[in-house]
Structure 1
């Protein structure tokens, strides 16, 4: 609908859409072509002169790759009800999802794996991950567990990470990217908290970056000192394709693959699962 007058909808959806378009570095014409619309209509929406339909909001959000939670925010800003539900993971409707994740985690033993939500709270983990948490301060293991706190806190895993500066930089960049995608105050507060953690005593001055690059030229490993040996892992992250629920859209399964034969042998013996 055109001709409502600036901000007649009283929502600011146009401002939000403009922000997402600029973040994706698309012109109004480029977005219009993707969404089967016109640059004029996109301009009217962004300037508050036109109220987009619910279908148009969802179409633009899809082409702008807007996170599911923020798609609901766009709909609310345009005066519509949220389109995507947000069920708790323990909701009966999520039973099949929980069961599938538990099977995936168990199948990854004897190598560590965990599932986190959008604020990096640990929702599930396998037995192998527990092995790596040996020596972590009890207060960090009280629910709700947070993967970033456990990893980077001076009383967590951090003192045993041999390439801490590299791994810390990687994790902070990952959090910064996520903060840039979702307007989450808890996530922003967590980022500021872990960023302020002091470096554990004895951390290597250079993190051994040159040596690690020579050993692992293909990807950054996580190297942990454990019981007189060094365990080396490569990290992968999996998310759900085309999620239709806010909770599901923010789930991430992180799996740690052994980066050398010594790590494989130790974990197979320690966790007791043959691969």
Structure 2
């Protein structure tokens, strides 16, 4: 059973303390960071202790070598007394037209397999017809905008009762959120985690009762179709579909909004699932 994520300690405020915090998270020594950034361990030490104020260029260089998320790079710059370097453009802004069109084209290309675009709070920003198929039977209240993928998946009035390996899939999703919370001080994400981790788990131990009508035995082909990755096994119109989840993000994003977008696609884990989806759209 996945336990609640450990509350984050109060955030340091100075840029030196913040950089030290990121260096500790990445398990990088001052000397190693200095070599990566073309600096000296002495200078890194002075920055971290507040004896030296880093330039804007140095803050960004250190953040890059520590793989700091774009939103948090802005926080580092503000702590150092500089203006944020990365804008946060609303996805519906006209300047994002080409980006939205490209994502829509990508989602269409995945059909009939489900694919959707998520933001940093797991809100669904776009989805294809394959996703609509899986949402049949979900409580309409959960489908009111903004749709949230974690809420829809884990809520007992959402997909949860139909996911045959729910305990495993729930653990996977909560662990994914915990990894994000370890990097981002996001109050909305923390609130979402606290909400969805508190939902009741259908059945004994999270999975359906093996003796229940239509339950899938542990040795069934659907359960063993993808031993190399955890599938999501979901009942749809009397058939158990098995999917592998893949997530794609943008390389070197220069905008906070874009940095937090992800395209998640659910690919068939077996020929039966692929056939069922193709038949559903004919």
- Is TM-score (shorter-chain normalized) higher than 0.5? yes
Greater shift, 84-93 or 194-203, is seen at 194-203
Q: 1:227 to 1:11 in 2, by over 3 A?
A: closer
Aligned match of 1:221 in 225, 231, 234?
231
- Partner of 1:106 in structure 2? 108
Q: Which residues of 2 match residues 59-208 of structure 1 at below 5 A?
A: 59-201=61-203, 203-204=207-208
- Partner of 1:259 in structure 2? 269
Count how many residue pairs are aligned between Structure 1 and Structure 2: 263
* Equivalent-residue separation in structure 2 for 1:224 and 1:201 (angstroms): 15
* Equivalent-residue separation in structure 2 for 1:169 and 1:30 (angstroms): 35
- RMSD of aligned residue pairs (Cα, Å): 1.7
Q: Do residues 250 (structure 1) and 260 (structure 2) align?
A: yes
TM-score, normalised via structure 1 length: 0.92
* Equivalent-residue separation in structure 1 for 2:131 and 2:187 (angstroms): 28
* Equivalent-residue separation in structure 1 for 2:223 and 2:61 (angstroms): 43
Q: 1:213 to 1:134 in 2, by over 3 A?
A: closer
Aligned match of 1:17 in 19, 35, 39?
19
Q: Do residues 55 (structure 1) and 67 (structure 2) align?
A: no
- Partner of 1:32 in structure 2? 34
* Equivalent-residue separation in structure 2 for 1:214 and 1:130 (angstroms): 26
Aligned match of 1:241 in 251, 269, 275?
251
CA contact (8 A) 2:225 2:270 kept: no
TM-score, normalised via structure 2 length: 0.90
Q: 1:93 to 1:112 in 2, by over 3 A?
A: same
Runs of 4+ in 1 over 6 A off after TM superposition: 206-209
Q: CA deviation at 1:226?
A: 1.1
CA contact (8 A) 1:163 1:208 kept: no
* Equivalent-residue separation in structure 1 for 2:21 and 2:216 (angstroms): 40
Structure 2: unaligned runs, 5 residues or longer: 1-11
Q: 1:11 to 1:80 in 2, by over 3 A?
A: farther
- Partner of 1:44 in structure 2? 46
